[in-house]
Amino acid sequence: MDILQAIVLGIVEGLTEYLPISSTGHLIIAQYLLGMGESSALSAFEVCIQGGAILAVLGLYFPRVAQMWRGLLGKCPEGRRLMVNLIIGFLPAAVVGLLCSRFIKTYLFNAPTVMVSWALGGIVILLYVRSHRHSGHADSGAPLEQLSPRGALGIGLMQCIAMCPGVSRSLMTMLGGLCMGLSLAAAVEFSFLLGLITLGAATCHDAVAHGADMLQQIGWEPMLIGTLVAWASSIVAVKWMVTFLRRHSLSLFGWYRLAAAALMLFLMSQGLR
């Protein structure tokens, strides 16, 4: 992997990780267009550059993180409750990931799966927006502080669906939050915060399991640059989406996913597997 490829993959990862459009599918397309092959080291690289996206959200939502830290110290009940909810929301994905990760990577990490997931996700978004027009405002619904442990578990169960490539972890957790009665703004925030734990666990796992292979086959410079680029582009993407959703619904992302599915179908006809 050269530096330019690392930059492109970092941009793709950062811009798509927290948007409800699936970073996995975009990385598959990016690798195809860049003429990159497949390897365990490259797959691990795609996961580990999520560290940049994690750092971006950690910085942007540091007040929430500090609130949770105060909660752990017994100084903030709201922060402690939020931390408990995040842990509850993470547990289903942790269990399913440990049990099914090999099956998912072997049989589902392919272009047809991503194409179908993109299309279905786009349809789900458009149907949801159409049936909830009255609650499309970002402030319509409950604030994050009112999320119950049961609601957090429901969001966590929906996050498990996103283990199928192309579904999008952000999409499922946002929709999960909305289904649990949260406002759109609160659902987006919980999705971002839950990503800190979920993506962090995945990043640490692959770094430990494939770190040596990445250093040998890819090198530390592309890894560092890809992570830094993912960090910078994630900041741009998160800030843009939060601002956008204050005035608009999720429908733009639904139409985008349908267009992306059509592009994937075209690339499959050209040889993308």
Say how far apart CA 138 and CA 129 lie, in whole Å: 12
What predicted TM-score, i.e. pTM, was given to this entire model?
0.90
Q: What is the pLDDT of residue 134?
A: 56
pLDDT of residue 137: 52
> Helix, strand, coil: what percent of the chain each, to 5?
80, 0, 20
One digit per residue, pLDDT tens: the chain, 273 residues? 889 999 999 999 999 999 999 998 898 888 888 888 777 778 778 888 899 999 999 999 999 999 999 999 999 999 999 999 999 999 999 999 889 888 888 888 888 999 999 999 999 999 998 887 755 455 578 999 999 999 999 999 999 999 999 999 999 999 999 999 999 999 999 999 999 999 998 888 878 877 788 888 888 898 999 999 999 999 999 999 999 998 888 999 999 999 999 998 998 888 777
| Closest listed residue to residue 213, CA positions, set 44, 75, 68, 24 | 44
pLDDT (0 to 100) of residue 136? 47
Residue 142, beta-bridge partner list: 182
3-state class of 147 per DSSP?
Answer: coil
Asked if 145 contacts 78 with a C-beta cutoff of 8 angstroms, the reply is yes
d(CA 10, CA 34): 13
* Domain range summary for the chain, segments of one domain joined by +: 3-269
| Rounded Cα gap, residues 237 and 23, in angstroms | 12
Half-sphere exposure of 17 (CA within 13 A, CB side): 37
| pLDDT score recorded for residue 195 | 93
Quick one: 74 exposed, middle or buried, by C-beta within 10 A (0-12, 13-18, 19+)? Answer: exposed
- Identify whether the C-beta of residue 84 lies closer than 8 Å to the C-beta of residue 239: no
